Amino acid sequence: MRRSLTLALGVFIRQWLAFAAAPSPANFHALGLAAWERRDDVEALRQWSHGVALQPDNPPLHYRRATALGRLGQPQATADA
């Protein structure tokens, strides 16, 4: 019993250490929105680009990234995004 409890606790701690520091696309989306509201377009673009890199199949992140590129005056990159 003690051995299996130790194993379970070790697995739990390892998983917690591995995933506690993993960034979430939702965090990058929220940070991008906060920068967007401050009119810090470069920071918003950076945050949303990180989110797209983590989750490339997330349409809202692609859209937000494209709007930031458009506001920065990059029409070709906006069309590509």
pLDDT for the residue 17: 63
Q: How far apart are CA 60 and CA 81, in angstroms?
A: 11
Cα torsion at 66, 72, 77, 81 (round to 10°)? -10
Structure confidence by residue, pLDDT tens digits, 41-74:
999 999 999 999 888 998 998 899 999 988 888 8
Domains of the chain: 24-80 (1.25.40.10)
Structure confidence by residue, pLDDT tens digits, 21-46:
667 788 888 889 999 999 999 999 99
- Tell me the H-state helices in 1-81: 2-20, 25-37, 41-54, 59-71, 75-80
pLDDT for the residue 80: 72
Average pLDDT, the chain: 83
What is the reported pTM? Answer: 0.68
Q: What percent of the chain shows pLDDT beyond 70?
A: 90
